[in-house]
Amino acid sequence: MKRYYYWLLWMPCSLGAAASDTSDQNLQSLQRQCQTHPKDWKCHYNLARAYDQNAQYDQAIAANHQALQRCQQKDKQGNIFYNLGHAYFEKAKSLQGQLPAKIALLEKSLQAYDSALAFDKTAQDAQANRSTVQKLLEELKKEQSKQQQQQDNQQQNTSDKNQQNPSRDNQQQQEGQNQQQQPQEQAQEPAANKPQQAPQEDQAEQKQSPNEEQQTSELLLKQEQQNEKLFPAHFSAPQNHEPVLKDW
């Protein structure tokens, strides 16, 4: 015991020393040790454990990475990866309603446990934790896929409504134009229904020559004679006969 005591005094940071105490005073002491011995991976390792137990997971993750960068002992790196996976897992659990962020943290936790098992494949605690993370990650990914499908359906419904609205607006606009055209058409109908006056041939015809006038007179005379035979006496042909349109 006496030799062990002196060994602790010589070590800048003993592995796991005082890490179970999460009081502010202990955290400050561990932080000072890391500042005094920044290259000692054990100081960062103990500080990461203290942060994790105090639910300060961002700081625990950062301290574990500091420990990994400084630790050259392969057999100890597995423990650091194990603690790193735990910090990522607890950080994901602490988030509320942030599904993408949770999934990203759980994926990092899974990678950390894989790294820990790479050093010791028989570590049962690492295997159990990895299995827990894997199951939770699969559930969250299913939930994310479900939410994404719902969002896609909502966007599709909104897009369909937007495509229908212009056609309705065009239909209403066309109906409005038709309503405006109806009074105009009704106002034009009386003028269109009025009987057109027959063009007066005497205005359209050119002046006849004397020979043509004589021929016309002879024709009129023959017509009068025929009329006297076809019609009764009181229907005698009028003098200065002009052809007119008759309604049957």
The CATH number assigned to the domain holding 39 equals: 1.25.40.10
Query: Do residues 33 and 97 share a domain?
Result: no
Q: Is residue 9 part of a domain?
A: no
Number of domains in the chain: 2
Residues (pLDDT < 50) of the chain are: 1-12, 198, 201, 203-205, 227-248
Domain containing 28 equals 20-72
Residue-level length of the chain: 248
Exposure of 70 by Cβ count < 10 A (0-12 exposed, 13-18 middle, 19+ buried)?
A: middle
Is residue 71 within 8 A of residue 51, CB to CB? The reply is no
> What is the pLDDT, as a whole number, of residue 232?
39
Q: Is residue 118 part of a domain?
A: yes
Q: Please report, to the nearest 10 degrees, the dihedral formed by the alpha carbons of residues 65, 69, 70, 71 taken in order.
A: 80
Each residue's pLDDT tens digit, 220-237: 666 666 544 443 333 333
CA distance 42 to 18: 12
Last residue of a domain, one of 138, 153, 168: 153
What is the 8-class DSSP label of residue 15?
T
CA distance 227 to 248: 19
CA distance 124 to 208: 129
> Domain with 147 in it: what CATH number?
1.20.58
Q: Please report, to the nearest 10 degrees, the dihedral formed by the alpha carbons of residues 128, 130, 135, 140 taken in order.
A: 140
Q: Is residue 139 part of a domain?
A: yes
Q: At a CB cut-off of 8 Å and minimum separation 6, what does 55 contact?
A: 90, 94
Secondary structure (3-state) at 237: coil
> What is the pLDDT, as a whole number, of residue 243?
36
Q: Is residue 115 part of a domain?
A: yes
Give, in order, the Cα–Cα distances in Å from 87 to each of 1, 57, 194: 34, 6, 96
Each residue's pLDDT tens digit, 140-164: 999 999 999 998 888 888 887 777 7
Is residue 241 within 8 A of residue 220, CB to CB? The reply is yes
Query: Do residues 137 and 88 share a domain?
Result: yes
Q: Is residue 4 part of a domain?
A: no
Q: Is residue 98 part of a domain?
A: yes
Q: Is residue 240 part of a domain?
A: no
Strand segments, DSSP code E, in the chain are none
Is residue 66 within 8 A of residue 40, CB to CB? The reply is no
Q: Is residue 126 part of a domain?
A: yes
